[in-house]
Amino acid sequence: MHAIFRLRITIERVASALPDYALFRSLPGAGPHLAPRLLAAFGEQREHVHGADELQKYSGIASVTERSGKKSWVHWRWQCPTFLRQTFKWIRVLYRVWQTRTPYDETIYLNALSKRGSPLLKSLDLG
């Protein structure tokens, strides 16, 4: 148990020293466990990822549609890094935060949903 505690302290110290750590730490619910995971998942080489959809496919979140004759079926990707699939939730928001190096701001997100007339906005309890 003591070794796990020391490892957590080390991860927090190393992760917080990296430039992008604040971006992931700014996300709601991204505490000392999830923020370093996101940091590791995204990495630092933005030029190698050309869109959130690319990240979705690589991480295994994007579904796969298969067709044969008149049949069509959808399933999740089998060959992908399990660590990433377990880590990601809001892939498009995370991608934007990471790409622009701008900390998450819920007001901006909610305004964007409002501009698009997103039905998601109606289901959120903003009271």
**Domain range for 54:** 2-123
DSSP H/E element including 46:
none
Rounded CA separation 83/41 (Å)? 8
Mean pLDDT by 10 residues, the chain (127 residues): 86 92 89 88 88 84 87 83 76 87 88 85 68
pLDDT of residue 125: 63
Rounded CA separation 110/95 (Å)? 17
pLDDT of residue 80: 75
pLDDT of residue 121: 77
Q: Using a cut of 0.75, tell me whether the model's pTM lies above it.
A: no
Q: Are 22 and 3 a contacting pair, CB within 8 Å?
A: no
Rounded CA separation 64/73 (Å)? 8
Please tell me the total count of domains within the chain.
1
